[in-house]
Amino acid sequence: MMLIHNKHEHYRTEIDLADEKLFGQKAEEDAVVFLSHHDHYNVTPLISLSGLAEKLQIGRLLVKDEGARLGIGSFKGLGGYHAVMRKFLKEASVILGREVRIQDIADPEVRSVASKMAFCAASAGNHGRGVAAAVQMLGATVYIYLPEQTKSEYVEAITKYGALVRKFPGSYDQTLVAINADAKKNDWFLISDISFIENDEVTSWVMQGYLLILKEALEQSVQVPTHIFIQAGVGGLAGALAAQLRIRYGKNCPYIVIVEPVGAACIYDSIEAGELKKIRHGLPTAMSMLDCLQPSLAAWRILTRTGDSFMKINESENKEALALLGKPLGNDPVIKSSESGSAGLTGLVKAIHHEQMRSAIGLDLNSCVLVINTEQAN
Ligand SMILES: Cc1ncc(COP(=O)(O)O)c(C=O)c1O
């Protein structure tokens, strides 16, 4: 079985008070203020696929299409930009001895501070692109570390923003080790989308950027979804959205399913083991942005409390679901997605095909399911 229910001892307990603050309404509103200063700030579409919903025999299927987010092809720019700006403003305020606000980043004195700073990030591709784009807006220096096998499209997209790119043999997790060491050695500001310690300010800022996705989707939707399927790498996206849903809806929270590739299901395996685990690399996956071997601590803390089910998907299931977006039914529009971008939908389609999973998750004609196309086709 490739689906497990959450049996963690913290399941359905209250989320931490600190997380309520980090991912509640005030945090959403603050993130909007920051993001509205982004050069390419936009609200992405929420698309209702009624043809596909009918085929899957559910009431409604909503796709939040993050492909065009901030002009960088994925949702990741939300977190990268938010964290870079927060970190910069905090440091610049100390250096200049006065409060520096997001409205002040074009001020020559502030730009002069930025020009002497260096930021860095490890990435499977998209996080690096978001961080590089944000740092370029400040006029600072940025180093991005990528796994050796990162596709050239991602590398080019990152270097386009003036980033200095280094590639490392092995997985994303190995680039994390290298960037942590080099950030300390060189006094670079590390913008990490995975946390290894409690109260990691920067990773929380990254996750807060993602709150815009659901904030917008809930404003765009005519009904509150009954289910959400969220794909996970280190779980930052899933953790932020799950906390947000729990804070908004409490006991009436939509049913949350976390979806991962079978070869890199670090959250699934951790839930199964009852503790956070670093897993070994399994089968290779085309869902390269989800190819992560350990969950972020912040995501783990939230998902043990809020994730209802955890699912592994394989390559052929993913291919089939991706094709559904490319060849729409009835009046449904085409949604251009990638293997990583369509993985949440793959989880839904898989559950529908398996009677046992379908009824365990409670999917039927009354269900309104939300999935996120996290990335445009590449
Ligand atoms: C396209 C895409 N989808 C999903 C994810 C998963 O996000 P997270 O690592 O926060 O779980 C990523 C992460 O980089 C991504 O790039």
Distance from C-alpha of 232 to C-alpha of 250, rounded to nearest angstrom: 22
Distance from C-alpha of 135 to C-alpha of 319, rounded to nearest angstrom: 35
Per-residue pLDDT tens digits of the chain, which is 378 residues long:
699 999 999 999 999 999 999 999 999 999 999 999 999 999 999 999 999 999 999 999 999 999 999 999 999 999 999 999 999 999 999 999 999 999 999 999 999 999 999 999 999 999 999 999 999 999 999 999 999 999 999 999 999 999 999 999 888 888 999 999 999 999 999 999 999 999 999 999 999 999 999 999 999 999 999 999 999 999 999 999 999 999 999 999 999 999 999 999 999 999 999 999 999 988 899 999 999 999 999 999 999 999 999 999 999 999 999 999 999 999 999 999 999 999 999 999 999 999 999 999 999 999 999 999 999 998
For ligand 1, say whether the CB of 291 is within 6 Å of any of its atoms. Answer: no
User: How would you classify the pairing of strands 46-48 and 60-65?
Assistant: antiparallel
Distance from C-alpha of 252 to C-alpha of 370, rounded to nearest angstrom: 15
Distance from C-alpha of 269 to C-alpha of 292, rounded to nearest angstrom: 12
For ligand 1, say whether the CB of 375 is within 6 Å of any of its atoms. Answer: yes
Positive/negative CA dihedral, 226, 257, 238, 341? negative
Residue appearing with tokens 């980090």: 22
Architecture of domain 3-74+210-373: 3-Layer(aba) Sandwich (3.40)
**How far apart, in Å, are the Cα atoms of 124 and each of 116, 146, 171, 363?**
27, 6, 8, 33
- The CATH number, out of the four listed (3.90.209.20, 3.50.50.60, 3.40.50.1100, 2.40.30.10), of the domain defined by the range 76-190: 3.40.50.1100
For ligand 1, say whether the CB of 127 is within 6 Å of any of its atoms. Answer: yes
345 and 229 Cβ atoms separated by less than 8 Å = yes
What distance in angstroms lies between residue 258's CA and the mean position of ligand 1's atoms? 12
69 and 246 Cβ atoms separated by less than 8 Å = no
Among candidate residues 177, 172, 171, 204, the one with its CA nearest the CA of residue 301? 204
Three-state SS at 145: strand
For residue 147, what are its two tokens?
């796994």
What distance in angstroms lies between residue 131's CA and the mean position of ligand 1's atoms? 14
Element (H, E) at 311: strand 309-313
pLDDT of 378: 80
For ligand 1, say whether the CB of 150 is within 6 Å of any of its atoms. Answer: no
What distance in angstroms lies between residue 280's CA and the mean position of ligand 1's atoms? 19
What is the number of the ligand 1 atom nearest to the C-alpha of 292? Answer: 9
Q: In what order do the strands lie in the sheet with 227-231?
A: 3-5, 309-313, 255-261, 227-231, 368-373, 60-65, 46-48
User: How would you classify the pairing of strands 141-147 and 46-48?
Assistant: unpaired
Among candidate residues 285, 265, 260, 289, the one with its CA nearest the CA of residue 277? 265
For ligand 1, say whether the CB of 157 is within 6 Å of any of its atoms. Answer: no
For ligand 1, say whether the CB of 293 is within 6 Å of any of its atoms. Answer: no
Q: Where in the chain is the domain with CATH 3.40.50.1100?
A: 3-74+210-373, 76-190
For residue 130, what are its two tokens?
């978001």
pTM: 0.98
What is the number of the ligand 1 atom nearest to the C-alpha of 79? Answer: 10
Between helix 76-96 and helix 25-35 the angle, nearest 10°, is 80
Distance from C-alpha of 116 to C-alpha of 127, rounded to nearest angstrom: 23
Distance from C-alpha of 174 to C-alpha of 317, rounded to nearest angstrom: 28
169 by Cβ neighbours in 10 Å (0-12 / 13-18 / 19+) ranks as exposed
For ligand 1, say whether the CB of 232 is within 6 Å of any of its atoms. Answer: yes
pLDDT of 1: 66
3-state helix, strand, coil in the chain (%, to 5): 50, 15, 35
Residue nearest to atom 3 of ligand 1 (CA): 374
Dihedral (C-alpha) 66, 72, 75, 77: value to the nearest 10 degrees? -150
Residue appearing with tokens 């503790």: 275
Residue nearest to atom 15 of ligand 1 (CA): 289
Residue nearest to atom 10 of ligand 1 (CA): 236
What distance in angstroms lies between residue 134's CA and the mean position of ligand 1's atoms? 18
Three-state SS at 297: helix
pLDDT of 136: 97
Mutate-to-test residue for ligand 1 from 374, 375, 376, 378, highest number of ligand atoms within 8 A of CB: 374
Mutate-to-test residue for ligand 1 from 150, 340, 342, highest number of ligand atoms within 8 A of CB: 340
Q: How many residues are given for the chain?
A: 378
For ligand 1, say whether the CB of 306 is within 6 Å of any of its atoms. Answer: no
Q: In what order do the strands lie in the sheet with 164-168?
A: 164-168, 141-147, 118-122, 189-190
For ligand 1, say whether the CB of 265 is within 6 Å of any of its atoms. Answer: no
pLDDT of 282: 86
